[in-house]
Amino acid sequence: MARSTKESTGIERRRFLTFLVAAPVLTVAADLSTAKTAAAVVPSPPAVAEIADIGDLGILVGLPTAHMIVIEVTDTVRLRLPRTEVGQGITTAVAMLVAEELDLPIGAVAVTLEDARPELLFNQLTGSSNSVRSLYDPIRHVAAAARGRLLAAASTLWDLPTRKLHTRDGAVVAPDGRRATYGTLTAAAADRTLRTGAAQPKPESEHTLVGTPTTRVDARAIVTGQVRYALDLDVPGALPTMVRRPPTINGSVRSVDNRAAVLAMPGVVAVSVIPTGVGVTAETFGQALDGKNALEVTWNRGTVDDLSDSDISAKLRNAAPRFPAPNPLVQTVDADFEFAFVSHAPLETNSAIADVRADRAEIWSGLKAPIIARQTIAAALGLPVDRVTVHVTQAGGSFGRRLFFDGALEAAQISRAIGRPVKLMWSRIDDMRHGRARPASHHKIRATMALGQVLSFEHRVASVETDFRHGIGEILSAAVTHLPIIGNLAFSQALFLTTIHTPYHFGATKHQLSEVPLKMHTASFRSVYSANTRGAEEIMVDLIAEKMGKDPVAFRHEFLKNDRQRAVLDAVASAGNWGRPMPDGHAQGIGIHDEYKSCTACLVEIDARDRAEPRVTKAVIAVDVGKPVNPRGLEAQMLGGLTDAISTTLRAGLHIDKGLPLEGSYSQFHYARQKNTPTDVKIVVMPAHGKPGGAGELGLPAAVGAIANAYRRATGTTPTLFPIHFPVDFEPFPR
């Protein structure tokens, strides 16, 4: 495709917009509306996701507002980040980018989270492993623009050409050693009449901070309790609030039968009915909890009251089209896999503060889609959008959960009902049972082989519908996700195709998604469709290799599509000593995954002598994300993906019983503890090249496949139901 003249001029023709606010503050933002989006170049035949993945689409639609990323320079440097920090380390990565361009120590850069800003459109949504990918160029350019203006201000001050000046440690330095700190130059730099030349980011070859392993800027604050999450904020008059929820998913209140008695309890201030339950507001959270538990409520039925695990499993099996009878002229490998519902289970449960008045509302919460939250809350309250302010707070975990804003909406509804500000906290039981979950799914996979080649590979996925009505759907369509069933399912197909691809030359390759529209609380879980889909495929790859009489690593090396994928495979096979002798009941397993312009391989060793308590004892992970901004943060992401994979592959899931999950705490939802995770973990970050790829969701699918393959090799049994060990080994809490 021919490029326009405007586009072909490259970086040097990118424009810069300078927003001059009250001096001595210099505020600048880079306009990247002419930036290029390059399609991936891959061997034929490429899948949709290899041509343009969901991250590419997010970057593309974000270009019109990419210039609205803002840095403020005074005596300090502050970046207003239009993304959410949920523990993934994005504030550290972007602080590194700013510090690099402005020649500052990273501690001199403060990163604050932006309030919801509707004018940002698609540039204030945190998801799809897209934050670093989409922010890398805009932040570098805005910081370079700020540096350019500071140099120009010093040039005017000293009557020296800017080419003779340089920046170091937060100051402009002249050849004779004179220094002017940024704070002393901001007033002049903000002068509208200041003449500046073109400002370009540093060549990546000159980076001294970006690409260097760096400890999180908020690490000490987190471990010492200084980070302020939503419920740590001191909003005047905000009272502790909890909600009594129905005994089944999506049940609703028919009547509150003892309102007066609960209102008479110590500390209870108000009882309010909202669409999702009954709120109890009190002077303390303990009193709110007591009041909630004392409520006597008559409930309407929910939307899945008659469904349990076996019913849902049957619906999924029936929704995945069966394969025809195999062709007798070729070898065939067929396999079915099934994955249970999984709770996101972030450490911080749903929480929010709301102060709703007759003519305005103010909300505080950890939100990954704050613009959509603001719009939805305004509509629910009957207020104009511009009368609702939404503050984004740091959140204690997400894994996809905080794409939705259920807590913020409930807090707003309760505050309006009682006419007072409230601090809403979900209990852990509520978060497990009424929070959103990764949908259950069923997978049918068939591969055909002949003459040492894989001729075809087909994967049919049936999943409970994933709810995407949190804003990311608007990347592709501003309206269709809100249409009944078909709209949301249409978007599901688009997201499935822009995330799922098989990294092997397996002949005619086909993926098909069928979603069962059960009205349950679902949401994207880390790695969305890939964790289960690609995890199952990596088990299938081992089965194909066995059928063809080949070693799993040698087989992958032969059939992978490109050298980058083979490099991460070789790295883990070498570092993990693939093929070494193992005692009975122990084995190695391997998996690979390619997504979001990144790829990774994972090798694990497992001790499965006790099949009820298998334990991963060692892991080696190699990861190639192109340009790693913070290798230490990347290592943390891979370790998190490994831990998620250990949990959801071996023991962690939700049992659905007559319309409600049975699990209600960490003691019942068996997420991996320290004793379940390996002490021997090695993470190999591949050499930097190109632009940054995605990392947040990358580490899960390969590890799922590796763990399942290790279990299979250790036990001689192919796991098909996940988690592998999944009894109800607890007494469920009362409904």
Q: How many C-beta atoms lie closer than 10 Å to residue 661's C-beta?
A: 24
End-to-end Cα, the chain, rounded Å: 60
Task: Please indicate whether residue 33 or residue 527 has the higher confidence score (pLDDT).
Answer: 527
Does 41 have pLDDT greater than 80? no
Q: Is 690 left (phi over 0), alpha (psi -120 to 50) or beta?
A: left
Query: Measured between alpha carbons, how far is 335 from 326 in angstroms, rounded to an integer?
Result: 13
In this predicted structure, the answer to whether residue 555 has a pLDDT above a threshold of 90 is: yes
Residue 495 confidence (pLDDT) above 90: no
- Can you tell me the distance from the alpha carbon of 273 to that of 266, in angstroms, rounded to the nearest whole number? 20
Looking at the predicted structure, is the pLDDT value of residue 44 above 50? no
Total count of residues recorded for the chain: 735
* Cα separation, 449 vs 455, whole angstroms: 5
pLDDT band at 35 (very low <50, low <70, confident <90, very high): very low
**For residue 224, what pLDDT band results from cuts at 50, 70 and 90?**
very high
**Is residue 16 pLDDT above 60, yes or no?**
no
User: Which residues make beta-bridge pairs with 271?
Assistant: 280
CA distances from 496 to 45, 52, 507, 518, 526 (A): 18, 12, 20, 18, 14
Domain spanning 437-722: CATH 3.30.365.10: yes
- 437-722 shares the fold of 5-223: yes
CA 266 to the chain's CA centroid: 41
What's the pLDDT tens digit per position in 438-476? Answer: 999 999 999 999 989 999 999 999 999 998 877 665 555
Residue 27's pLDDT is: 53
Q: How confident is the model at residue 50, as a pLDDT? A: 87
Residue 37: the pLDDT is 27
The architecture of the domain spanning 230-302+350-425 is 2-Layer Sandwich (3.30)
Mean pLDDT value of segment 651-657: 98
DSSP secondary structure letter of residue 378:
H
Task: Say what the pLDDT of residue 2 is.
Answer: 37
**Cβ of 235: how many Cβ atoms within 10 Å?**
16
Give the mean pLDDT of 150-168.
94
Q: Identify whether the C-beta of residue 188 lies closer than 8 Å to the C-beta of residue 156.
A: yes
Q: Give the model's pLDDT for residue 723.
A: 98
Which stretches does DSSP call E strand in 451-585?
453-464, 508-516
663 contacts 343 by C-beta, under 8 angstroms: yes
Q: Is the pLDDT of residue 5 over 50?
A: no
Q: What is the pLDDT of residue 46?
A: 79
Output b/e per residue, 419-443; b: 16+ Cβ within 10 A. ebbbbbbbbbbbbbbbbbbbbbbbb
**pLDDT class of 186 with cuts at 50, 70, 90:** very high
* Max Cα-Cα span within the chain: 85
Q: What is the DSSP string of 546-608?
A: HHTT--HHHHHHHHBSSHHHHHHHHHHHHHTTTT----TTEEEEEEEEEETTEEEEEEEEEE-
- 201 preceded by a cis bond (ω within 30 of 0): no
Distance CA 401, CA 436 (A): 7
How many Å apart are CA 146 and CA 77, to the nearest integer? Answer: 10
Other CB atoms within a 10 A radius of the CB of residue 543 amount to 18
* pLDDT at site 26: 59
pLDDT over 90, % of the chain: 82
- Which long-range contacts does 493-496 make (Cβ < 8 Å, 24+ apart)? 495/54, 495/468, 495/528, 495/529, 496/461, 496/529
Q: How large is the average pLDDT for residues 315-330?
A: 94
Mean pLDDT score of the chain, rounded to an integer? 90
Q: Would you place residue 482 in the very low, low, confident or very high pLDDT band (cuts 50, 70, 90)? A: very low
DSSP notation for 279-292: EEEESSHHHHHHHH
| Per-domain boundaries in the chain | 5-223, 230-302+350-425, 437-722
Q: For residue 335, is pLDDT > 90? A: yes
CA distances from 306 to 146, 442, 711 (A): 61, 20, 35
The amino acid occupying position 133 is R
Mean pLDDT computed over 16-42: 36
Q: What is the pLDDT of residue 473?
A: 58
Model confidence over 84-138: pLDDT tens digits? Answer: 999 999 999 999 999 999 999 999 999 999 999 989 888 898 888 889 999 999 9
- pLDDT per residue over 263-298, tens digit each? 999 999 999 999 999 999 999 999 999 999 999 999
pLDDT surpassing 70 at residue 15: no
CATH number of 5-223: 3.30.365.10
Report residue 68's pLDDT band, with 50, 70 and 90 as the boundaries.
confident
